[in-house]
Amino acid sequence: MLAVSNVDVFYGKSQALRDVSLKVEEKEIVALVGANGAGKTTLLNAISGLRRPAAGSVEFLGQRIDRLAPHKIMNLGICQIPEGRKLFSDMTVADNLEMGAYSSAAWSRRKETLEQIYRIFPVLKERRRQSAKKLSGGERQMVAIGRGLMSNPKLCMFDEPSYGLAPKLFLEVLEVVKRLREQGITILLVEQNVRNTLEVADRAYVLENGQIVLEGRGKDLLQNEQVKAAYLGV
């Protein structure tokens, strides 16, 4: 479904990604793990069109997308759920969700999609007329996920969904991720909470200093000595 090949990304003269390659197959949960500053968000931005690679390519469903505008990439079926949620705090829950139905196709289906999201997150239906600033951290994360789903994505990219959440709430987010995969949505999950993320991932990549240093099945990487020492405190 997604193929990132030999991608370099710079911020001015500073290189953030170096020769990064990864692939995501349909209906997989693929994790990209690493420490803060490793380049994880930069890679998501390169996929979604927010940051243009200096070299390499990004293909989605066989089409090269690394020269497309972000809204065109979204229309192809990719959504990015940003770190820190980035909601419109003075708008209601329902209005925040509808902001995700940007394309004409998604807008025409928004009522149906909204009901699907309310079935996934019943509390959002109860809170739909409240402003986003009155929600708890976990509820704001639900709105951010729901807003992304309003675009009816084929590939959903999560950027640090554990950010600002208690461990129990993050585990609930991971349960939602698994449910989305069961509904046919492919997942690219970017996280620095390595243990829990590798437990749910089919496959995973470890990013360090802008380079992929390890890849494999999620459960295999949990047993990798390098991963244990660097990320699991073992």
Is 234 a member of any domain? no
Helix ranges (DSSP H) in 18-149: 40-48, 70-76, 93-98, 104-108, 110-120, 122-126, 137-149
Average pLDDT over residues 105-126: 90
Q: How many domains does the chain have?
A: 1
Rounded Cα–Cα distance for residues 86 and 120 (Å): 20
* DSSP string covering 144-185: HHHHHHTT--SEEEEE-TTTT--HHHHHHHHHHHHHHHHTT-
Closest CA to 23 of 194, 207, 184, 205: 205
**CATH code of the domain covering residue 112:** 3.40.50.300
Residue 78 has pLDDT above 60, yes or no: yes
User: How confident is the model over 168-178, as pLDDT tens digits?
Assistant: 888 888 998 99
- Examine residue 4 and state whether it is found in any structural domain, yes or no: no
Note the pLDDT of residue 234.
52
CB 64 within 8 A of CB 58: yes
Q: Which of 38, 1, 41, 36 is nearest to 18 (CA)?
A: 38
Residue 103: the pLDDT is 83
Closest CA to 71 of 114, 105, 117, 113: 105
Three-class SS state of 233: coil
Model confidence at 71, pLDDT cuts 50, 70, 90, reads very high
Distance of CA 99 to the CA centre of its chain: 17
State pTM to two decimals.
0.90
Residue 233: inside a domain: no
**What is the reported pLDDT for 84?**
61
Is the pLDDT at 54 greater than 70? The verdict is: yes
> How do residues 117-135 score in pLDDT, each as one tens digit?
999 899 999 999 989 888 8
CA distance 139 to 142: 5
Residue 121 lies in a domain: yes
Asked whether the predicted pLDDT for residue 165 surpasses 70, the reply is yes
Length of the chain, in residues: 234
More confident residue, 21 or 83: 21
Q: In Å, how far are 49, 101, 122, 189 from 41, measured between CA atoms?
A: 12, 23, 30, 11
Q: pLDDT averaged over the chain?
A: 92
Confidence of residue 85 (pLDDT cuts 50, 70, 90): low
Residue 101 lies in a domain: yes
- Residue 230 domain flag: no
The confidence score (pLDDT) of residue 168 equals 87
Structural domain includes residue 231: no
How sure is the predictor about 107, in pLDDT bands with cuts at 50, 70 and 90? confident
Using a pLDDT cut of 70, give the percent of the chain over it.
Answer: 98
Tell me what pLDDT residue 82 has.
84
45 is in which domain, residue-wise? Answer: 21-51+67-223
Contacts of 4 (CB under 8 A, 6+ apart): 20, 21, 22, 23, 43, 46, 47, 56, 57, 58
According to DSSP, residue 129 is labeled T
Arithmetic mean of pLDDT, 198-222: 95
**Whole-Å CA distances, 175 to 32, 63, 70, 74, 159:** 18, 31, 28, 24, 16
59 found inside a domain: no
Whether the Cβ atoms of residue 168 and residue 141 lie closer than 8 Å to each other: no
